[in-house]
Amino acid sequence: MEQSDQSSSGSTPLPPCSRRTFLKGAALAGTVAAFPSLMAGCGSSSGDVPLEQKIAQMLMVGFRGLTLDDSNYIVRDIRDYRIGGTILFDRDAKLKTYGRNIVSPEQLQGLTAQLRTLSATPLFIAVDQEGGKIVRLKESYGFPPTVSAQQLGTLNNPAVTRLYADSIGATLATNGLNMNFAPVVDLNINPQSPAIGALERSFSADPSIVTNHARIFVETHDANRVATCFKHFPGHGSATADSHLGFVDVTDTWSAVELEPYRNLINADKARMVMTAHVFNRHIDPDLPATLSQPFITGILREQLGFNGVVVTDDLQMQGLTQFFDYKTIVEKSILAGVDIILVSNNLEYDPEITPTTINHVVDLVNSGRISEQRIDQSYRRIMALKGRLFA
C-alpha cells in the first residue's frame, strides 16, 4: 500500500533501510563529508527512497506514555511510518500534570530502549535539557543537578561551564537520549523577556560570551554523541512576549547583533542544528514569522550566514503560530521557507493522527506542485547527514 493511502488503522511497513545497514554506511562514511557512502547503504534522494519515507524523516512527534505498547500511536509512527524523531517531556502541558514521559532514570532508560527497537532507521530522541529552570530530567527525579545558562555566563568560567555541560551530555547519553534542544544562543537583551531573560535561559547580552559558552556546550555533547541545537533563530532575547502564548513582534527591539553567535559558531563548524523562533520582524518579512519565512531561513540563515545543516521548527502547536495560521498552512510555509524538521510536541495540543495527517498533506503538496520533491530531498539529505555523523 502506498504511504499516502495509509489510515490511522495501520500501515504496511516501507522497504527497510535497516539500522545495521545504516550504521555500516555511517561507519564507512565517518564524517558528513563522506555522506555519499552512507547514502549508498540507506538510499539517496535520487529516487530509491519513497517520498513518504523522506517526508516521515522530517517529522519529530511527541507522545504520552512512560512505557510503550501497540496501543500507543508513537509505536505505529516510528515502526510503520518511519518518522525521524520524537521528543520527550516530564510535564503534560495540556493536561497540566507531570509524569508524561519521564519520572526516573530507570524508567527513562527503559522507554528510550523501547523507542530504539522500533526504528529501522536510527531515531532522534530529543529533550530540552538547558539547565536551570528548563530541564526535563530533574534532580527531583534522580538525575544530576544543573545550573542555568545565566548563572554560567555570569560566572564566565569556561572550566565550570564545561563541567556542567559535560554532565548534561553524559546524563542524556546514559539515559538513551541523543539530541538536546540546547544551548540557547539568544542574547539577554531584555532581562524581563518572559520566555528567555526571566527564566535565566541566556548566557549573556554579550555575543562573545554567548559564543564561548555555547561552543563548550557543543564540544561536550559531541564527546557524548548527543546532538545540540542552537535556538531561537533569529533571536528571542529582545522580545517582550512569549511565543508559546501568542503573537511576538520584535520589529522594534531586534538588532543584527543577535545573529553574531550564529555567525561565529557556524564559522567555527560548531552548528549541528538550528531551531527557529515564531517571532515577527516586519523589517525582514512583513507577512510571516521567522519559522515560516524564506527571507529569514533561506535568505539570512542559509545564504548570509552559510548554515547548511538541519533547521528544526520550534513546536508548531505554539500559539505564536496557531493564532494566525491553520496547521496545514504552517507545514507548507515552513517547508517552503527552508525548514528540515517539523516539530510537533503533541503537548500543547494532542492529536494522535498528526503523523499520517502531515505525511499525506505534504505528499499532496508535492503531487500538486506546491512543493517540489527536490525541496524534500534537500531536507532528507541534511537529516540523514546529521544521523550519519551522530550514529557513526
Give per-residue pLDDT as tens, 244-278.
766 789 999 999 999 999 999 999 999 999 999 99
At 320 the pLDDT is: 86
More confident residue, 24 or 280: 280
pLDDT, mean of residues 29-44:
37
Give per-residue pLDDT as tens, 83-112.
999 999 999 999 999 999 999 999 999 999
pLDDT, mean of residues 161-179:
99
Q: What are the residues whose beta carbons fall under 8 Å from the beta carbon of 68, sequence distance 6 or more?
A: 74, 75, 111, 114, 115, 118
Question: How wide is the angle at C-alpha 45 spanned by C-alphas 43 and 49, nearest 5°?
Answer: 50
At 8 the pLDDT is: 34
Catalytic residue among 90, 186, 314, 315: 314
pLDDT at 340 > cutoff 80: yes
Please give the backbone phi and psi of residue 328, each rounded to the nearest 5 degrees, phi first.
Answer: -65, -35
Give per-residue pLDDT as tens, 45-73.
436 999 999 999 999 999 999 999 999 99
Residue 377 bears catalytic tag: no
**Domain definitions of the chain by residue range:** 45-379
Listed in sequence order, the DSSP H helices in the chain are 19-29, 35-42, 51-57, 73-79, 105-118, 149-155, 158-174, 207-223, 260-267, 294, 319-322, 327-337, 354-367, 373-391
Q: What are the residues whose beta carbons fall under 8 Å from the beta carbon of 278, sequence distance 6 or more?
A: 243, 248, 289, 290, 291, 314, 318, 320, 321
Please give the backbone phi and psi of residue 67, each rounded to the nearest 5 degrees, phi first.
Answer: -140, 170
Give per-residue pLDDT as tens, 221-253.
999 999 999 999 999 999 987 767 667 899 999
pLDDT, mean of residues 278-295:
96
Residue 361 bears catalytic tag: no
What is the sign, positive or negative, of the torsion defined by CA atoms of 205, 209, 215, 217? negative
Assigned C-alpha cell, 168: 548534561
At 131 the pLDDT is: 99
CATH architecture assigned to 45-379: Alpha-Beta Barrel (3.20)
Catalytic residue among 244, 249, 364, 377: 244
Q: Is the pTM of this model over 0.85?
A: yes
The number of beta carbons lying within 10 Å of the beta carbon of residue 47 is: 10
